[in-house]
Amino acid sequence: MSTASAKLLAGEDFASDDDLVNDWPSGANQRLENEDASVVPPVRLRLASSKPNRKRQRLHRISSCTAFVFASMACFLGIFLGLLLVLAANEKCNTQLHNDSSISVAEKRVKNISSECPTYPWPELRLPTSVEPVKYTLTIRPNLTTFVSTGNVDIDLNINSRTDLIVLHAHGLNVTSYQITVDGTHINAQKENCEFLGQLAFKLSNAVNQGEKVQLSIRFVGQVSDDLVGLYKNTHYSSDGSKSYSAVTQFEPTDARKMFPCFDEPAFKAVFQVSIERERRHTSKANMALQKTDIVDGQIEVDHFAPSVKMSTYLVAIAVFDFANVTEMTKHTTHPIRVSIHANQDMIKGKADLALETAIKGLEYLETFFKVPFPLEKQDLLALDDFAEGAMENWGLITFRDSLLLYDQNRSTTRSKEMIATVVVHELAHQWFGNLVTMKWWNDLWLNEGFANFIEYFVTDRIFPDWKLMDQFYVENLLPGLFLDGMTTSHAISVPVHDPAEIGGIFDAISYQKGASIIRMFMGLSGEEPFKLGLQEYLEHYKYQNAEGSDLWEILQKHIPSMGDVSLIDVATAWTTQVGYPLVQARLENSGTTLVIFNQTRFLSLIDERTDDRMAHKWPIPIIYKTDSTMQSKTVWMKGNNGRNLNVILPTPAKWVIANADGSGFYRVLYDQAIYHELAKQLKLDHTALSAVDRAAVLYDAFSFVKSGHLRLETLMNLLAYLESGKETDRAPWVVVLGQLRQIEDLIEDPDMIDTFQAYERRLVAATYSNLGWELTESHSDRQLQAEMVAFVCRLELQDCVQSALIRFSDWLVDNSS
């Protein structure tokens, strides 16, 4: 171990950065600050495979890559730096698990159609557009004893061009009979199905012409499955040990075809008129309000629901259950909307208030913000025991895993309170962004998910302003987005997908977190009011239709004609169609009177992946800067095409600069040594001279640059040193630091090394831990930080923490309502 590193870890004063240059282990990581040349294979577009959602981000498992790199580390600093390398290598191993083939899933499937379905007349993944559905009249009978589901559907079809083939989706369904009529007259047709494609084709004896009225009627048998997709079984275990079943649906992205034959692509919008047969003891729900119930015999009833608004198949939903509910009407909407929370009787008591309050306020806020009335009479929110996702925005019938809907005032955590509110708002935002206006095809999934993710913060912040949710935007969106997008395994926000397996793969940090981050960046650049007016026009113009990214940009551009001298369309196109994001470097010259921004290149975590073609990526980058002498941020553009250096003359000389103020832009900034030195000094002197988000961003970038070999470890440790004083009590920087330290520690195998590293961690956190303490504070974000800090510190076995935890645990054993 070098003396300087040993001193740092032992808590002694920090020597100068220069002392440490020779501590770098041999090999790739030896590259120092501001140097980033390398030679390796071309960047290939591969789909990122990490699980999407920020609510349940996957843990990275340590792989054999880890073990290999470990073996080569010798001294402590070597090991520490090695760990950072391992982390990066490990990230690569994880993100590449599903990407080891050069031929896409879609290409493979298309290649195999002729052997799997030799006589099938439509060997394509996408449906033909010659026929489109107008209205489905669907009756479905999910039997909760046999778990068989039978149904019949009449589909009114529009003929767009003369054809003798009707092709639609059906997967795992047994068609028992069918009939096709043209202007009311029966016509012969031959049925072919290709289970491999999840399709059904009807070859007509005579072609049908444009404008003719065709009806396709199909009877079918399917199942109430066990696999959480299509129409599936939800099992509730009561506290008395008894079991009860319900039937629910999860169709997004491509599983409506498992419940009923349909044109299962988002652009085939139609009206759905649904009837559900059920036992008398059950209730049923669908997207629309109940119109009437027929009694079939003593125990069987059929519920008939109102015809739906025009919508895509992936948003259709039904549910059959015996839940209880809590209901309230909205007051400040165009018409009163009946909002109900449904959950099992023994789960719902006293736990629905938060979701109900958020749903009502959310609907009221969103209706006013988007200026398009919510078109349905009711909005049901359903808590499920068995649910693959976090929540799903089915129009009028939103489904949730129960832990993301039910809040227990006395027992649930502050984090859980925040998650419930944000998830409810997220799914409500989809009722406009996604349901009313839907992406034409899944390549623009981010239009749904990026917007819903942005709005979930923006609107929850308006409904519960004292939670200061926008302060957490950086660590919950930019952090995971920048992480995933710093790999060659990432993909552009707008990405070509064809096969259902590929579609499932893009519900990831790029569509969600990067999508939300660049929307926040655009709104910041254009101003809230013009941006809002643009969104309103977009929703009004495309309601009940489909749109793509460019449709949105064109409308927004009308409201935001210029941002400096760059156009919104150019900016938006660059940021949504190119994979990755830029790394820019910043330094101060001429005695601090000139800010120089230079070297726009794509940031890639792994040195081995940095080929020259990353220079080909160019973005118009809004450099949003502030300095120690001018705290009001200003924006200048570093354009992709006008040379590489940008010189900004500052009105007053600066010691340090923040070049991406409040993490407003989706990029990283690497400062030169002099700036880092001043920043570290500033943090020690008065950290509040930088905003909490600025502190989080500088630290997160610094951790990432050490891992990527752009920055010396000592510079990072020098920045971190201010934490020891215990004055940092904002959550954002701590989320970065605790998360990054934890990741590093998880990779240490050598027990001595763990001890040394933990001693260093204890030193960083101890004072803040004792300042925060255990007593409940009023502030929402302090409470979250308290919990996170206690968890971190107790894991480090700090005596005070362990003792306090044990006392509370004994109290809880005596009185478990505490």
Rule CB under 5 A: which of 450-469 touch Zn ion? Answer: 452
- Residue 253: cis peptide before it, omega within 30 degrees of 0: yes
CB of 484 to ligand BES, least distance (A): 15
Where in 306-389 does DSSP place strands (E)?
318-321, 324-329, 338-343, 378-384
Compute the least distance from the CB of residue 374 to Zn ion, in Å: 17
The site string for ligand BES over 54-73 (x = CB under 6 A, - otherwise) reads -x------------------
Q: Does 658 bind Zn ion (CB under 5 A)?
A: no
Stretch that binds ligand BES, among 31-39, 119-127, 383-391, 586-594 (CB under 6 A): 383-391
Greatest CA separation for the chain: 91
Task: Print the SS3 string covering 737-774.
Answer: HHHHHHHHHHCCCCHHHHHHHHHHHHHHHHHHHHHHCC
**With respect to ligand BES, which residue has the nearer C-beta, 391 or 497?**
391
Closest contact distance (angstroms) between CB of 51 and ligand BES is 8
* Closest CB 100 distance from Zn ion, rounded Å: 29
538-575: burial string, b at 16+ Cβ within 10 Å, e else = bbeebbeebbebebbbbbbbebbeebeebbbeebbbbb
Q: Which of 208, 256, 270, 391 binds ligand BES (CB under 6 A)?
A: 391
Taking contact as CB under 6 A, which single stretch among the options 62-70, 325-333, 426-434, 655-663 is the one that binds ligand BES?
A: 426-434
Please indicate if the annotation marks 449 as binding a ligand.
Answer: yes
Task: Indicate the Cα dihedral angle 743, 747, 751, 757, nearest 10°.
Answer: -40
Q: Going by DSSP bridges, is the β-strand pair 437-439/545-547 parallel, antiparallel, or unpaired?
A: parallel
- Kindly determine how many residues on this chain lie close enough to bind ligand BES according to the rule CB under 6 A: 17
Pick from ligand BES, Zn ion, none: which does 395 bind, CB < 5 to 8 A by kind?
A: none
CB 769 within 8 A of CB 805: no
Q: Using the rule CB under 6 A, is 780 a contact of ligand BES?
A: no
User: Considering the complex, what minimum distance in angstroms separates the CB of residue 586 from Zn ion?
Assistant: 35
Tell me which stretch binds ligand BES (CB under 6 A): 14-22, 160-168, 291-299, 385-393.
Answer: 385-393
CB atoms inside a 10 Å sphere around CB 324: 16
Structure tokens at 654: 């600066």
Q: Binding partner of residue 524 among ligand BES, Zn ion, none, CB under 5 to 8 Å per kind?
A: none
Taking residues 431 to 450 in sequence order and writing x for each that binds ligand BES by CB under 6 A, - otherwise, the string is: ------------------x-
Residue 724: strand pairing partners: none
Q: Report which residue type is found at 617.
A: H
Stretch that binds ligand BES, among 10-18, 108-116, 389-397, 689-697 (CB under 6 A): 389-397
**304 assigned binding-site residue:** no
Q: Any binding-site annotation on 426?
A: yes
Site map 326..365 versus Zn ion, x via CB under 5 A:
----------------------------------------
Q: Does 493 bind Zn ion (CB under 5 A)?
A: no
The Cα angle at residue 289 between residues 287 and 290, in degrees rounded to 5: 115
Residue placing its CB nearer to Zn ion in the complex, 426 or 626: 426
Q: Does 252 bind ligand BES (CB under 6 A)?
A: yes
Of 268, 458, 507, 538, the one binding ligand BES by CB under 6 A = 507
Q: Does 316 bind ligand BES (CB under 6 A)?
A: no
- Residue 815, classified by CB atoms within 10 Å of its CB into exposed (0-12), middle (13-18) or buried (19+), is exposed
Query: Minimum distance between the CB of residue 580 and ligand BES, rounded to whole angstroms?
Result: 23
Among ligand BES, Zn ion, none, the one that 423 touches (CB under a kind-dependent 5 to 8 A) is ligand BES
- What is the smallest separation between the CB atom of 449 and Zn ion, expressed in angstroms? 5
- Write each residue from 410 to 449 as x if it is in contact with Zn ion (CB under 5 A), else as -, in one continuous string: ---------------------------------------x
23 binds ligand BES, rule: CB under 6 A: no
Helices (H) and strands (E) in the chain, counts: 22, 29
Any idea which residues carry the catalytic annotation?
Answer: 427
* Interface stretch with ligand BES, choices 42-50, 51-59, 293-301, 800-808 (CB under 6 A): 51-59
Find the part of the chain contacting ligand BES (CB under 6 A) among 52-60, 198-206, 701-709, 767-775: 52-60
Candidates 29, 53, 225, 718; binder of ligand BES (CB under 6 A) is 53
Partner from ligand BES, Zn ion, none binding residue 391, C-beta < 5-8 Å depending on class:
ligand BES
Residue 308, token pair as written in the block: 């739906």
DSSP single-letter state for residue 407? -
Contact yes or no for 172/259 (Cβ under 8 A): no
User: Structure tokens of 150?
Assistant: 């039978």
**Which DSSP letter does residue 197 get?**
T
Measured from the CB of residue 450, what is the shortest distance to ligand BES in angstroms?
Answer: 10
- Count CB atoms within 10 A of the CB of residue 213: 14
Cβ of residue 430: shortest distance to Zn ion, in angstroms?
Answer: 6
42 φψ region: left (φ > 0), alpha (ψ -120 to 50), beta (else): beta
Would the CA dihedral through 350, 352, 358, 360 be positive or negative?
negative
With left for phi above 0 and alpha for psi between -120 and 50, is residue 616 left, alpha or beta? Answer: alpha
Contact range with ligand BES by CB under 6 A, out of 166-174, 235-243, 257-265, 420-428: 420-428
**CA 272 – CA 285 distance, rounded (Å):** 14
| CB nearer to ligand BES: pick between 478 and 717 | 478
Residues 288 and 308 sit within 8 Å (Cβ to Cβ)? yes
Return d(Cα 704, Cα 699) in angstroms, integer: 9
Phi-psi region of 592 (alpha: psi -120 to 50; beta: other; left: phi over 0): left
CB-nearer residue toward Zn ion: 449 or 714: 449
Q: What are phi and psi of 480, to 5 degrees?
A: -70, -30
Between 92 and 131, how does the x/- string for binding to Zn ion read (CB under 5 A)? Answer: ----------------------------------------
- Beta carbons of 754 and 745 less than 8 angstroms apart: yes
The binding site for Zn ion (CB under 5 A) comprises 449, 452
Binding residue positions: 426, 430, 449
The binding site for ligand BES (CB under 6 A) comprises 52-53, 55, 252-253, 389-393, 423, 426-427, 430, 449, 452, 507
Binding residue positions for Zn(2+): 426, 430, 449
